[in-house]
């Protein structure tokens, strides 16, 4: 959506328990912040819905999640990107990488794709790591053409910090928590829980390049390598 | 205390084992640094006391702890704030949030307030998370009035990084490890072990706002939600 | 080695399984990046060797490791330091501290030096912590003379973040991931997985000073204190 517009989010609760929605970042009125355990904003009961509304006064990368940590850690979350109304320099590609972790009770020793597994609540000892909901080799590549300017928005709302490395390319931090930064170069970025970092790179080194978490265990699916928090930057 | 004054800390050991006190940060003479496992500073034996003294040449947020990691992780620690002698801009409120984690062997599934539990040494797999010694809902709110400038000093000496989010307000990093910073805006701050970050915010958005760790498990008391690392910013 | 020179690394595989070598940082051609699970670079089979070559266009601190996370977490890694061709200000001392973590299945309750232990793959729940392969008290001190300028290069490729504190001295961040930084002062530095931070300090406070991880458990050898991630800055 565009900056300075009003965000409307209608949440329809199809669960069998109450919920509420918190948008992380973007200061808003107390009744719209969505944490009814503390704030004057309603719980949404099963079968009911609620409309949140507030102004997106700031552009950048945000996310939302249930105010209930158990629901949140089971995946009740998503991404909200606010674009500036007139962007001077629009990148050619704009990718979002939502980083999550999961703890599967009776883990399969390979990919999870063909069966349904129920993650343990709260994921304290995660054994599966996903980018946009998938583990390697099922992750979606970031396709680019030579010479393009590429934005990658890293978002982490897991219990752990995760650390991402883009092979073959250095990149610049453009925004942190949707606040502008001066473009510090890095080759590896730490993503603490709840933080968002937007980085820019120039597609100047053709090939198929890993984009991966650096922690050895996170490059596996429950110990089976390669897997987990790996995707690819792929020149097309 | 005030900068450029001498700090005197008399430690009286009422334990049944030896101890020593290390003040983290504030460079001082080797005999006053308080880590006798390595340095020429004495152990304090049971029933004995020792006087540490050094100049507080730097203002900012510091903490002290036992040089013994087992005593340290059982809570033998505290906070030392050094104020500048003439502060140009004094904030209206100045809060310290000391972040700790605990591992309780036979955990209660609710608040720990009415019984005494002995934490496991070293807290490797923490299930309780405190702000100034209390978990939500027993944490003390940060009371503010509309328009005030508020300083919050985050201090972490736990085994883990913790990540804090102030709802409804952005804030600026003013000092890191008691060194001045240029006031970078954030909405979520990562607190690695042993680090101190002082942040400033303006009380411009009335209400009752959560101040919480973003990691889902840290918002519970051993899995019971809400709990743990949550307090409130409360307009009075 | 020197910047702008070509790096030649011949890897001879004496393992009973295939391997490959990834140099972390230093953008290079896709066939030289060494992650054959994704890139067009060969696996090195048992008894075979392979020559990697690329230009070190950037000076600073780097490391290399096996592309196989299990081999990597069992210690198949090392350090690559690239020096500028003409350094304007050469420090008097230049130390590298490679930080690692290990999980030993049947842990000894004291130092590991006299026996051989096999670490568990992937070190998810580490109980031993090393600096350049050794735990305290067996770590090698950083020897300095009064007045010297000392560079310390911190490198972490473990599953966890580690946090290092140099007692009695503040230090400046000079480079992060081999990119120049403006010299921000700190007394405690967080080292996320896969990151490198070069810091400078002036040897101005004589004595024997701990250099240690701040996490209480990391200052032990499987819970026995003192131990683990501790070395000394020692005036000679």
Which residues in chain B are contacts of C203 at CB distance < 8 A?
Answer: none
| Contact check, Cβ <8 Å, C210/B38 | yes
pLDDT band at A108 (very low <50, low <70, confident <90, very high): low
- How close B163 gets to chain A, by Cα (Å)? 6
Q: Round to whole Å and give the CA distance between B110 and A81.
A: 37
C180 and C219 together in one domain: yes
Task: Please give the pLDDT value at position C104.
Answer: 87
Helix, coil or strand: residue B175: strand
Instruction: Please check whether residue C196 is in contact with residue C178, taking contact to mean a CB–CB distance below 8 angstroms.
Output: yes
- B140 and B193 belong to one structural domain: yes
* Residue of chain A minimizing CA distance to C58: A170
Name every residue whose Cβ is closer than 8 Å to that of residue C57 and which is 6 or more positions away in sequence: C3, C4, C26, C27
Instruction: Please give the backbone phi and psi of residue B219, each rounded to the nearest 5 degrees, phi first.
Output: -95, 25
Shared domain for B144 and B206, answered yes or no, is yes
Q: Are residues A61 and A134 in the same domain?
A: no
Would you call A30 and B168 a contact, using CB atoms and an 8 Å cutoff?
A: yes
Which residue segment(s) compose the domain that B25 sits in?
6-82
Of C27, C37, C159, the CB nearest to A168: C27
Mean pLDDT estimate for chain C: 93
CA atoms within 13 A on the CB side of C52: 26
Count the Cβ atoms, other than its own, within 10 Å of residue B75. 15
Instruction: Return phi, psi of residue A31, to 5°.
Output: -75, -10
Give SS3 for B177.
Answer: coil
Q: How far apart are CA A81 and CA A62, in angstroms?
A: 6
Residues C103 and C204 in one domain: yes
Residue of A91, A126, A104, A88 lying closest to A199 (CA atoms):
A91
Per-position pLDDT tens, chain B of length 236: 889 999 999 999 999 999 999 999 999 999 999 999 999 999 999 999 999 999 999 999 999 999 999 999 999 999 999 999 876 678 999 999 999 999 987 655 545 555 667 778 888 899 999 999 999 999 999 999 999 999 999 999 888 999 999 999 999 999 999 999 999 999 999 999 999 999 999 999 999 999 999 999 999 999 899 999 999 999 99
What pLDDT was estimated at residue C1?
Answer: 85
Q: Which of A182, A192, A215 best probes binding to B when mutated, by most B CB atoms within 10 angstroms?
A: A192
- CA distance linking residue C72 with residue C120, whole number of Å: 12
Asked if residue A1 belongs to a domain, the reply is: no
Helix (H, G, I), strand (E, B) or coil at A21: strand
Query: How close C27 gets to chain A, by Cα (Å)?
Result: 4
**Contact between A187 and C193 using a beta-carbon 8 Å cutoff:** no
Chains that touch A (3 or more CB pairs under 8 A): B, C
| Test the C interface: residue of A215, A226, A228 with most C CBs within 10 Å | A215
Q: Report the distance separating Cα C81 and Cα A228, nearest Å.
A: 30
* C172, burial (CB in 10 Å: exposed 0-12, middle 13-18, buried 19+): middle
CA distance B31 to chain C (A): 9
**Looking at the domain assignment, is residue A87 inside a domain?**
no
Residues of B with CB under 8 A from a CB of C: 22, 24-25, 27-31, 33, 35, 37-40, 68-70, 72-73, 121-124, 157-161, 176-179, 181, 192-195
Of B82, B101, B118, the domain-final residue: B82
pLDDT at C89: 74
- A123-148 pLDDT, tens digit per residue, is 889 999 999 999 999 999 999 999 99
Taking alpha carbons only, the member of B138, B178, B207 closest to residue B56 is B178
**What's the number of domains chain B is made of?**
2
Q: Which of C190, C210, C220 sits opposite B35 (nearest CB)?
A: C210
Residue A51 has pLDDT above 70, yes or no: yes
Domain membership flag for residue C122: yes
If asked whether residues C99 and C78 sit together in one domain, one would say no
Interface of C with B (CB under 8 A): 125, 161, 163, 165, 167-170, 184-188, 190, 205-210, 213-220, 223, 225-226, 230, 232
Residues C127 and C102 in one domain: yes
Chains that touch B (3 or more CB pairs under 8 A): A, C
Q: Based on the domain organization, do C120 and C226 belong to the same domain?
A: yes
Contact assessment for residue B184 and residue A184, using Cβ atoms and an 8 Å cutoff = no
Euclidean distance between CA atoms B106 and B127, whole angstroms = 11
How deeply is A16 buried, as exposed, middle or buried, from its count of CB atoms within 10 A (0-12, 13-18, 19+)? exposed
On whether both A208 and A158 belong to a single domain, the answer is yes
**Residues in chain C closer than 8 A to A188 (CB atoms):** 24-25, 177, 192, 194-195
Residue of B nearest to A37 (CA): B226
List the single residue in C with minimal CA-CA distance to A168: C27
The pLDDT of residue C90: 81
A·B CB contacts under 8 A: 106
Domain assignment present for residue B1? The answer is: no
Selected for mutation to probe chain C from A101, A135, A156, A167 (highest C CB count within 10 Å) is: A167
CATH, residue B49? 2.60.40.420
CA distances from C42 to A59, A169, A199, C54 (A): 44, 21, 30, 15
Position A158 scores a pLDDT of 86
| Chain-chain contact of C179 with A165 (C-beta, under 8 angstroms) | no
Which pLDDT does position B195 carry in this prediction? 98
Closest CB to C223 among B25, B30, B121: B121
Nearest-neighbour CA in chain A from C103: distance (Å): 13
Distance from CA of C222 to the nearest CA of B (A): 10
Instruction: Check residue B158 and give its pLDDT.
Output: 86
Percent of chain A with pLDDT over 70: 94
Residues of A in contact with C31 (CB under 8 A): 207
Give the separation between CA B208 and CA B231, rounded to whole angstroms. Answer: 10
In a domain, C36, yes or no: yes
Mean pLDDT check: name the lowest of A224-233, C12-21, C118-127: C118-127
> C-alpha angle with apex B36: C222 to C144, nearest 5 degrees?
95
Q: Inspect the interface and report whether the beta carbons of B187 and A37 lie closer than 8 Å.
A: no
Domain boundary among A27, A48, A82: A82
Under an 8 A CB cutoff, do C186 and B192 touch? no
| A205 and A133 fall within a common domain | yes
Could you give the CA distance from residue B46 to residue B13 in angstroms, rounded to a whole number? 5
Same domain, A18 and A119: no
In chain C, what percentage of residues exceed pLDDT 90? Answer: 85
> CB–CB of C220/C228 below 8 Å?
yes
Q: Residue A42: its pLDDT value, please?
A: 97
Query: What is the per-residue pLDDT for C105?
Result: 73
Asked whether the beta carbons of residue B27 and residue C206 sit closer than 8 angstroms, the reply is no
Q: What would the pLDDT profile of C78-128 be if each residue is shown by its tens digit?
A: 999 999 987 667 899 999 999 999 998 766 554 555 566 777 888 889 999
| All residues at 6 or more sequence positions from C90 whose CB lies less than 8 Å from its CB, including other chains | none
Please give the pLDDT value at position C6. 96
Query: Beta strands C230-235 and A162-166: pairing type?
Result: unpaired
Contacts of A179 in chain B (CB under 8 A): 170, 184-186
Looking at chain B, which residue has its C-alpha nearest residue A176? B186
Buried b (16+ CB within 10 A) or exposed e, C188-221: bbbbbbbbbbbbbbbbebebbbbbbbbbbbbbbb
From B217's Cα to the closest Cα of chain C, the distance in A is 18
Residue A143 lies in a domain: yes
How many angstroms away from the CA of A71 is the closest CA of chain C? 25
Last residue of a domain, which of C28, C61, C82? C82
- Please state the ipTM of this predicted complex: 0.95
Asked if residue B155 has a cis previous peptide bond (ω within 30° of 0), the answer is no
Q: Are residues C19 and C60 in the same domain?
A: yes
- Whether C88 is covered by a domain: the verdict is no
Give me the residue from B35, B181, B193 closest to C163, CB to CB: B193
């Amino acid at each position: 959506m565009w900056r300075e517009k009003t965000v409307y989010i209608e949440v329809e609760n199809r669960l069998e328990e109450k919920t509420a929605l918190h948008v992380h970042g973007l200061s808003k009125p107390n009744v719209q912040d969505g944490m009814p355990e503390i704030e004057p904003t309603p719980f949404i009961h099963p079968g009911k819905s609620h409309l949140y509304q507030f102004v997106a006064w700031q552009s950048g990368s945000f996310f939302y999640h249930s105010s209930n940590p158990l629901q949140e850690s089971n995946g009740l979350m998503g991404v909200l990107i606010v674009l500036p109304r007139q962007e001077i320099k629009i990148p050619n590609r704009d990718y979002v990488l939502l980083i999550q972790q999961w703890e599967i009770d009776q883990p399969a020793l390979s990919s999870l794709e063909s069966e349904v597994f129920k993650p343990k609540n709260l994921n304290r000892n995660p054994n599966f790591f996903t980018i946009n909901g998938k583990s390697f080799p099922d992750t979606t590549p970031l396709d680019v053409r030579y010479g393009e300017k590429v934005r990658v928005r890293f978002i982490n709302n897991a219990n752990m910090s995760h650390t991402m490395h883009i092979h073959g390319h250095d990149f610049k931090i453009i925004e942190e928590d949707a606040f502008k930064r001066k473009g510090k170069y890095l080759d590896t970025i730490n993503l603490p829980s709840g933080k968002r970092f937007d980085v820019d790179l120039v597609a100047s080194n053709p090939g198929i390049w890993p984009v991966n978490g650096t922690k050895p265990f996170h490059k596996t699916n429950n110990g089976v390598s390669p897997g987990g928090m790996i995707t690819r930057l792929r020149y097309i």
